[in-house]
Structure formats: C-alpha cells, structure tokens
Chain A
Amino acid sequence: MATVTYDSASRIYPGTEKPAVNELKLDIGDGELLVLVGPSGSGKSTALRMLAGLEFVDKGSILIDDRDVTLTPPQDRDIAMVFQNYALYPNMTVAGNMGFALKQQGVSKEERAKRVMEAAKILDLEEYLDRKPKNLSGGQRQRVAMGRAIVRSPQVFLMDEPLSNLDAKLRVSTRTQLVDLQARLGVTTVYVTHDQVEAMTMGHRVAVLDHGVLQQVDTPRRLYSAPANLFVAGFIGSPAMNLIEADRSGDELHFGSSVVALPADVQADLKASSATRFVIGIRPEHLSNAGGGLNSNVTVVEELGSDAFVHATIQHGGGDVTIVVRIDGETTVSRGDNMPISIDGPVHIFEADSGKRLGTPPE
C-alpha cells in the first residue's frame, strides 16, 4: 500500500512552450481512489504517465510512499497501468497477458498459474484464459487489462480512461464493479477520465485539471456544492450550472430584473473586488417555478420521469439568456408557456475574467 505525491511536477513537451502539466501539487492517500478529470487536452494522461515513468518530469518531483521516483524507470516503480486501448500483448493468450509481469519478476510457473486463476475468477475470465486478445469482445479485453493489473498486487493502479471504449450500458455496470474491486483490494488508484459523471460517481476525491493546471481537489460532494472557480462550476454537474454574466451596479448584481441576495462574505468580496463583470452561477435545481418575480419563456422540456429540465429564456442585461430549471416531473409545462421563476438555493458568484470565486465556500 502506498501514498502518492506530486510535488510541483511539470512536464513541458519538447518543442512546446506551455507545460502540458504545470506545477501539479497533489497528495493521494493510501488506498484512495483519486480521479483526475478535465476536458480533452488538459494534461490528464500526461500527469498519469509522469507517475508511471513514461514521461519525463521536467520540474518538481514525484514520490511513491515518500520514495522519490522522479528518475526511476517504469519497470522499477511497482505500479500497474490500464491503458485506454488496453494495450494487451497481441501474441499472448489471456493467461499469458495476465502472467507477464509475474514472469518478469521470476515468479514460478505454478505460482503464476495460481495467481492468474485467482484474478480470472474475480473478473469472470476463467473460460477465456487460452484465448488471444483478438478473439475477445471489448468488455472482455477491458477485464483482461484489469486482470493484468490486479494479478501483480502493485503499490499503485493507474487507469487512463479504461471505460471509454465500452458501450454506454457496459460502462455504467463496469464502473460500479471497478469501484467495488478497488475498495476490496484497497490499492491506491489514480483514475483518469474526461467524463465528469464518471469522476463524480467513482472518486473518493476528484482533481479537476484545465490547461495543465490543477483547479480544485475535493470530494465529489464539495466539488459540486462549492466549486473553487468558474471553470469547475461550469465543468462539474449535468446539466451544467447556469452561468449568467452580470455587470455590477454599485455593489449589487442583477439576475433578470431582480437583485441577487448575497451572503455577507460574498458581499464583502464584491466590495473589495475591482472587477466590473461577474458571473452568477445557479444550479438548475436551485431555480424554482413555484412562483416568483422573473418571467421566463419555455423553449424545450426534457422529461426524465421523476423530474424534468426546462430550458427557458429570460430577459437579462438587455437581451435574451437561456437558463435551465429543474422542475417536478408531475408539473406539466410545454413550449411557449410563460413560467415565473425564482432563485431557491445557493448562488455562486465569480469574477468573469479571472474566474475567481467570491466569498469563502461553505464547509
């Protein structure tokens, strides 16, 4: 078991100016399942590959269990990795794939067979042990890639979008199995995904990356309720948080025609801020159609059964702005309806240019 530490680690690819990963500081606890999430090109894979030893660390260092591994080659790091395309050894059988790492360690043939069998039982792969990867389905290949990792009982698991090549249904069920497996084995895991739903459902903690810069590390709950900046606010949550630009009028912000009520700490930050443009962030479930001062015009209704998401336009800042409101599934609303809405929950205020959050996030 092990902890992992990124100590201001940067990676600058040769021939590029901007670091792909910029001074990443991250402490991952023993047995933790940490998810790295961010849009495509944000540096997630690079960060993971730095930990694997497959990319150089140009600045800073990386520690596994307080041992500095910054310059250690991958084969000496005692980590196992699951690749996005699985990277199975095409010339070997499933058993050969799963036993490969043990073979490199000089583990005896019998011991190898025993441990491969154990892993195959866990992953339901017993009947495929003699098959070559090309004769397996996508889901089976994914499990072989997992098997190859767990057979080794390494210090750390690294997974780079391991579910992205599965179909939607299998992805959801495998996700659950993976979380269960990780909890049972208790191996420290770094999991990379671009899918924020996957990140939220799987991670003990989630680290959000954008342009190689760490934006926030927190539990899924806190990431959702207290986004540290505008990027996290817009990235986490589905449907996304309503983000409405507003110019300050004195020390007040307007949402449509009404003044937004702000807590004292936000009020204080707003007074102190020199910015003129701000963004008001409101989650769809924190807008209510139970009557209120703001008129909206319904354009689209997405029925989900238990509830519905209503897309509507409001008059705001001299133009039309589209917002999403979550309403009870029993309520009937249809396109063209006039729906009065009001704010019914916390609002998040950010500086439009810097993306900085106003006020201290609630504990």
Chain B
Amino acid sequence: MTDVVQDQSVIVDRSDEVERIAKKEAWRRRLPILPALLFTIIVTQIPFALSVFYSLTDWNIVSGVDREFIGFGNYGELFGSSLFRQAAWTTVVMTTASVLLSVFFGTLIAILLDRKFFGQGFVRTLLITPFLITPVVAGQTWSTSMLNPQFGVVNWLLERLGKDDPIQFAGQFPTWTIVAVLVWQWTPFMMLIILAGLQGQDPSVLEAARVDGANSRSIFFQITLPQLRPFLELGTLLGSIYLIQVFDHVEVITGGGPGSTNLPYFVFQRSIGGGWEFGQASAFSIVVVIATIIFATLGLRLLSSLLEE
C-alpha cells in the first residue's frame, strides 16, 4: 500500500544547514544576557581585581608616602597579627552560632506554622517582620530599648523577677549579644525557607508513614527532616555568606568592643575606620572572601554529613 523510498540519491543531506541554524540559535540565546554580564564584570570583578592589586602594596593615605609594591608582605603580616587571629576567631564563632541557632529556631517555628489555623497569615507576617528591619535599626533597637543596663526592657523584666544589679549585655557578653540580635533577625528568613520545604512535602507520604505505624516523632526524624535537607542547606549557605560579612550590628551594638571585632569590622578599622592602611585592609578583605567560600562549603559538608544518618 504505502511507498517506501528506495532511491538513496533523493535523500537530502541537511547537516550543514542544521549546524548553521544551531549556531545562530545559540547566539540568539546568549545575546540578551550580555549586558548583564558586562555590568556584573564591571561592578564586581574589576573592584575585586583592584583589591587584589592594593593588597600587594603598602598604601597608607595619611602618611603621605607613595604607594609601594611589596608583594605578599601584607599577607605575611596578617597571619602574624594576634588582632587578626582574634577577629577571625570571632567571625567563626559569630557566624557558626548565629547560622545554626537561626536554622534551629527557624525550623521549630516553621513546624508550628505548617498547619492550618485561624489567623495563620497574620501570624506569619508578624513573624517575618524582624527580617525586614534594617540591620542598623535592629541593632539600635536591641542595644537601647531592649538590652540597655539602665532602661532596657530585658533588665527591667529581670529586676521584676528579683535580680538587683542590671546586666551589661553589650559589655559582658559582646559577641553573644550580637549573636542574639542576629538570630532574632535571621530566624524568620530560615523559617520561610524551611516552611517552603515543609509545604512542598507530599502529604500522602506522611499518611503512608502513619499507616505504617510511625508516630509523629519518627515521621519527623525519619521522613520530614531528610526531605528538608536541600532547604536546610540553602538556608545555611545563604546565612553563612551573609552573616560572615556582618558589620552594622557590630558597629551599633558594641562598636567592636571587647572581643567582638569580626573580620569585616577589622577591615573597616584598618582602613577608613582610622587605620588608613588600605593595602593591609585589602589583604584582609581578600582573606574574608576566601574564608567565606571555605566556610560556606564546610558548613554545607557538615550539614550534609549530619543529615546523611
């Protein structure tokens, strides 16, 4: 019935034409992102390259001495500096503690919110507000209204409970006071991410687990938590990247006071914050960038291995 083509000569070879169209198509896709790419290179990569260059120089803008190329001198100095080591350690403590605590509390609140109840939307909005507050304002609010030894709400409450001498939060526990405010601000962010993960779960999987005899605890630890893994990882990654660079809170709450100077604040102190050593500060900031990458990667690995269980 149907004709089958036997004559090979009538089959047209189109491979050249196909290749030409494919190339054209590839450019058509690339073209629209070119401006964005250029812009990104100009505003991120060029300043970074300049920083790298400055970090290899001795450059103090108030001393009047010309900029001088000194190779890795700044880096050598940096690892010998006990102030730098102190700042690096503070950064590690501050970042780890605030990321882990905000992920923990964020998960807790997300679990409480992941059920239907009256006023759900309102409660959620209320809970998100801390994240929407400008860091400087958040720091200010906490260091004055809440934690101030003379007129802070927390000390007032403690006094009601029978504690006589007020606690100098920012003075006695500078790093942990900053961590507390960071956790307060970042818990809502983590909560949103985890909530998305919880709500993305297939409800029938949870039902299957119940029918299979699992109680709520087993369901959470054996089914829900492993499924939340990518969301916990995302939260940790974004949190680490951001929190390693915290500056405003340090400035407002302690001003870098006893032991609470982290790397970004240290960079600030060494440069426009009074040190004027731009070469050194550049070297520090390069180290911060590298540390961020290492820290975020390690954080992810750690979390993954914990959840592997």
> With a CB–CB cut-off of 8 A, which chain B residues contact A148?
208, 212
Residue of B nearest to A85 (CB): B204
Question: Contact flags (1/0) for B43-71 with A, using CB distance below 8 Å?
Answer: 00000000000000000000000000000
A96 to chain B, nearest CB (A): 9
Contact B218 A104 (CB under 8 A): yes
B285 to chain A, nearest CB (A): 40
- A84, A100, A158: the one contacting B209 at CB < 8 Å is A100
> With a CB–CB cut-off of 8 A, which chain B residues contact A87?
202, 204-205, 207-208
Does A136 make an interface contact (CB < 8 A)?
no
Q: What is the number of residues of chain B that contact chain A, defined by CB distance less than 8 Å?
A: 18
Does A91 make an interface contact (CB < 8 A)?
yes
Residue of A nearest to B215 (CB): A75
Within 8 A of A (CB), among B167-212: 202, 204-205, 207-212
Q: What is the number of residues of chain A that contact chain B, defined by CB distance less than 8 Å?
A: 26
- A53, A77, A89: the one contacting B208 at CB < 8 Å is A89
Does B213 make an interface contact (CB < 8 A)?
yes
Contact A101 B207 (CB under 8 A): no
Residue of A nearest to B225 (CB): A91
Q: How far is the CA of A87 from the CA of B205 in the complex (A)?
A: 5
> With a CB–CB cut-off of 8 A, which chain B residues contact A152?
212
**Are A81 and B209 also in contact (CB < 8 A) when A89-B223, A91-B226, A91-B227 are?**
no
A-B contact count (CB 8 A): 66
Question: Contact flags (1/0) for A270-308 with B, using CB distance below 8 Å?
Answer: 000000000000000000000000000000000000000
Contact B214 A104 (CB under 8 A): yes
Contact B212 A100 (CB under 8 A): yes
Q: How far is the CA of A300 from the CA of B223 in the complex (A)?
A: 55
Does A239 make an interface contact (CB < 8 A)?
no
> With a CB–CB cut-off of 8 A, which chain A residues contact B227?
90-91
> With a CB–CB cut-off of 8 A, which chain B residues contact A76?
213
**Are A80 and B211 also in contact (CB < 8 A) when A85-B202, A87-B204 are?**
yes
**Are A79 and B202 also in contact (CB < 8 A) when A89-B223, A91-B223, A91-B226 are?**
no
Contact B213 A75 (CB under 8 A): yes
Does A54 make an interface contact (CB < 8 A)?
yes
Does A125 make an interface contact (CB < 8 A)?
no
Known: A76-B213, A91-B229, A100-B214. 10 other contacts (CB 8 A): A53-B211, A74-B211, A75-B211, A88-B205, A88-B208, A89-B205, A89-B209, A91-B227, A100-B209, A101-B213
25 contacts between A and B (CB under 8 A): A52-B207, A52-B211, A54-B211, A74-B207, A75-B210, A75-B212, A75-B213, A75-B214, A76-B213, A79-B211, A80-B212, A81-B208, A81-B211, A83-B207, A85-B202, A87-B202, A87-B205, A88-B208, A89-B205, A89-B209, A91-B229, A100-B214, A104-B213, A105-B213, A148-B208
B positions within 8 Å CB-CB of A: 202, 204-205, 207-215, 218, 222-223, 226-227, 229
Closest 6 CB pairs of A and B: A91-B226, A101-B212, A87-B204, A87-B208, A104-B213, A75-B213
